[in-house]
Amino acid sequence: MGRRGARTGAAGPASPCPCGTGQPYAGCCGRLHRGEATAGTAEALMRSRFSAFAVGDPDYLLRSWHSRTRPDRLRLDPGQRWTRLEVVGTERGELFDAEGVVEFRAHYKEDGRPGTVAERSRFVREDGRWVYLAALPD
C-alpha cells in the first residue's frame, strides 16, 4: 500500500476492526492507533496499518514507518474506501525476530469500482518496535 491511502472515516469503538480479526476496533488496532500498545509481530503491524488507511489515520501511518523510508507527509485519498484485508503469508516477523515479510491483498472501492493492492512488505524493528520499511519488488 506504500504511499496509497484512503479515508473511510473513523471506526466506532464497538465496530469490527477493519483489519479482519473480528475483534472490536477499540480493543484491536484502535489501541495501537491511540499509542496505548505496540504491535507484537510484523503481521499485527501490517493489520494496524491497513486499519489506519481504512479509518483515515495518516499520523499513525507515519509513526509506524521506518525513519529511513518515511515520507515527509502523507495525504490519504478520500475517494478510496478500504474494504478488506487478506494476509496471504508471512515470513519471520514474530516476537523475537528483527525483521519479517508480510504478503497481503488489500481491497478497496474507488468511485464504486473495486480494486486490489497486492504487496509483499518488509518490516523491521526500529528502536525495539515493528515499523514498515518498504514494499519488496515482485
115 lies in some domain: yes
67 lies in some domain: yes
128 lies in some domain: yes
- Tens of pLDDT, residue by residue over 114-138, are 999 999 999 999 999 999 999 999 8
95 lies in some domain: yes
Which segments within 1-137 are labelled E, that is strand? 80-92, 99-110, 113-126, 129-135
Domain CATH code at residue 38: 3.10.450.50
Q: Are 125 and 98 in contact (CB under 8 A)?
A: yes
CA distances in angstroms from 96 to 28, 40, 130, listed in the order given: 21, 9, 11
State the residue range of the domain holding 92: 25-135
Q: Are 99 and 92 in contact (CB under 8 A)?
A: yes
The CA angle 129-133-134, to the nearest 5 degrees, is 155
3-state secondary structure of 63: helix
Instruction: Read off the DSSP letter of residue 67.
Output: T
Q: What is the number of structural domains in the chain?
A: 1
2 lies in some domain: no
103 lies in some domain: yes
14 lies in some domain: no
Q: What are phi and psi of 108, to 5 degrees?
A: -145, 170
Among 2-16, 31-45, 84-98, the range scoring the smallest mean pLDDT is 2-16
18 lies in some domain: no
- Tens of pLDDT, residue by residue over 60-84, are 999 999 999 999 999 999 999 999 9
